Amino acid sequence: MESKIRAVGKMTQVEELRRDQIGAQLESMRHQSEQLSQQLAALSELKARNFQGATKTCSVGLMNLNLADQMLQKMLLHHQQEQAVMEAQCQSVQKQLQQKAARVQGLEQVLERWNKKQNYEKAKREQKLIEDIINARFKRRDL
């Protein structure tokens, strides 16, 4: 039983380490997602300002403005797609983190249950030894 308890203890430590690593990865991904959101907001604001400042009506200026608008639109679309992918990855990692946390909790419960069982069996053996000692003393007195 002692070897089982040690093995489960080590498995719990390994799972806790993996859980912590996944938690750190999730935190990093959330930080990247926040940065993408900020970049997306900045690009949207830049695109909105692009046409507000356009008062020139010459063809070269309008062509440049149109090209800049197209590039901003492509960048916005790219960032939106990248943010959607990042959010999906965050959700996946969040699910993994929840699974690892549940596994660690399960292992801790098994470890606790086995420790209680071992302590119970130890107390039972000690009680049996004490009873045997008392019975042996009574037998010696009777003789």
Q: Is the C-alpha dihedral spanning 11, 14, 18, 23 positive or negative?
A: positive
Q: What is the DSSP letter of 1?
A: -
CATH topology for 2-142? Helix Hairpins (1.10.287)
Does the pTM exceed 0.75?
no
Q: Which residues contact 127 (CB under 8 A, 6 or more apart)?
A: none
pLDDT in tens, the chain (143 residues): 788 888 888 888 888 898 889 889 889 888 888 888 888 888 778 777 766 655 556 776 667 777 777 888 888 888 889 888 888 988 998 898 899 889 989 989 998 999 999 999 999 999 999 999 999 988 888 76
